[in-house]
Amino acid sequence: MRLSHFEYRVPKTLEEAIELLESGGPDARLMAGGTDLLMKMKHGAIKPKLVISLKKIDGLDTIAFSEKTGLTIGATALLADVASHPDIIKHYPAVAEAARGTANVQVRNMGTVVGNLCNASPAADNAPTLLAMGTTVHIQGAGGKRDLPLEQFFKGPGLTALKGAEIVTALTVPLPPLNAGAAYLSLSARGKLDCTAVGVAAMVTMKKDVCDDLRLFIAACGPTPLRAPGAEEIMRGKTPADDLLERAGEQAAGEASPINDLRASADYRTRVVAVLTSRVIKEASKRALKR
C-alpha cells in the first residue's frame, strides 16, 4: 500500500516541534526513528497529514551516565547505541540486553528506546526492564515540563499519558543499589523478527542470600506491561531456592492476562510466563550477589 500524502517537517528546537505538534492537532505525528510509525502508515492504520521528525533537535540523542543522576536516554537515542554503550553494559546490563533483543539489526539502527515506549505496545521489549528499574519519563509540552514514573505512562494498547502537544524528551533510570541486579528474558513463538510473545523482567535486591525486594514486570500478557505483586511477595524475605522460584512463576502466570492472537495462544503465554519468571528472578539474584 502506498503512503498517503503528508507534510514532513524537521524542526531544530523542541519549542518549534511543540508548536508544530500543537498546530497540527490530531492529524500530526512525531517521528523519532520511524520504525513503528512508517509501518502503520504503510498499512493504512494511520494517515497523518503532518509528520514531525525529532532527529535534528540537539541533545535528544543523548546517552549519559553519572553515579549521582543515573542513566539518561534521550528521545532519539538509537536502540543499537543503547545496546552497545559501555556504561549501560557495565551498570545496566539488562537495559542493554532488552535493546539488543529488539527486532533485528535494521530496526535497532533506526529505532529508539523512547519510540518503542511511546508506541505503547503491550509487547514492547524495552518496557519491562525499565519499569522494573524505576524509570522516570521526562515530558515537555505547551504547558511546560513534567516528570512521570514510567509505571504511570502506559494507559492501554497504543495509549499513553501524554497530553496534547507533549513530547517525551528523555528517560532517567536510577543507579541500582550495589546489592541489586536486573534481568530480562523474552520468547517469541515464531522467531526474532516477530513481536515478543512473552517478556519478563525482574530487579532483585539481595541481603546476603535473601531476597530483600523484587520488582517484576511482564510484557505481552495484558493491555499494558503488567506488574506481578503476588509473585513479588512470595520471594521477599526468602532465599531464592528452586521450589520458591517455581511458586513465584506459577503466581505470576496467574496474575497475567494473556489473550489468543496470531503470535501465541493464551495457554502458551501462561505457561511461558511461569517458566520465564522463575528463570529471570534466578538470573537477577545471581547478578545482585556479584555486585
What pLDDT sits at residue 65?
Answer: 98
Whether residue 73 is found in the same domain as residue 126: yes
- Is residue 60 within 8 Å of residue 74, measured between CB atoms? yes
**Exposed/middle/buried for residue 189 (C-beta within 10 Å: 0-12, 13-18, 19+):** middle
Residue 190 has pLDDT above 60, yes or no: no
Q: Compute the mean pLDDT over every residue in the chain, rounded to the nearest whole number.
A: 95
Q: Give 212-265 pLDDT, tens digit per residue.
A: 999 999 999 999 999 999 999 999 999 999 999 999 999 999 999 999 998 899
pLDDT of residue 93: 97
Looking at the structure, tell me whether residues 128 and 193 fall in a common domain.
Answer: no
The overall longest dimension of the chain from CA atoms, in Å, is: 61
Which whole number is the average pLDDT over 189-199? 72
Q: Give the domain extent around 37.
A: 7-52
Distance CA 97, CA 215 (A): 18
Per-residue model confidence as pLDDT tens digits over 145-179: 999 999 999 999 999 999 989 999 999 999 999 99
> Which band of pLDDT confidence, cut at 50, 70 and 90, is reported for residue 193?
low
Residue 256 in domain = yes
Instruction: Please report the pLDDT score of residue 291 as a whole number.
Output: 83
The pLDDT of residue 2 is above 80:
no
Q: What tens digit of pLDDT does each residue of 96-135 get? A: 999 999 988 999 999 999 999 999 999 999 999 999 999 9
Is residue 17's pLDDT more than 80?
yes
pLDDT the model gives residue 194:
63
CA-to-CA distance for 222 and 267, rounded, in angstroms?
13
169 and 68, same structural domain? yes
Same domain (yes/no): 94, 42: no
Rounded to 10 degrees, what is the CA torsion of 40, 273, 200, 214? 150
Which element (helix H / strand E) includes 206? strand 198-207
Final residue of a structural domain among 142, 173, 204: 173
CA dihedral 23, 45, 105, 258 (to 10 degrees): 110
Count of domains for the chain: 3
Structure confidence at residue 189 (pLDDT)? 62
Predicted local distance difference test score (pLDDT) of residue 289:
94
The CATH number of whichever domain residue 160 belongs to comes to 3.30.465.10
CB burial of residue 71 (10 Å; 0-12, 13-18, 19+)? buried
Angle at 209 between CA 204 and CA 215, to 5 degrees: 15
Q: How confident is the model at residue 1 (pLDDT cuts 50, 70, 90)?
A: low
Q: What are phi and psi of 196, to 5 degrees?
A: -60, 130
Retrieve residue 237's grid coordinates.
524475605
**Residue 2 domain-assigned?**
no
pLDDT at site 4:
82
Inside any domain, residue 192: yes
pLDDT, tens digit, 9 for 90 and up, residues 47-85: 999 999 999 999 999 999 999 999 999 999 999 999 999
Q: Cell for 280?
A: 529471570
Question: Same structural domain for residues 166 and 201?
Answer: no
pLDDT value at 23 more than 90: yes
The pLDDT assigned to 160 comes to 98
pLDDT (0 to 100) of residue 103: 85
Give the pLDDT of residue 191.
56
Instruction: Please indicate, yes or no, whether residues 243 and 166 belong to a single structural domain of this protein.
Output: no
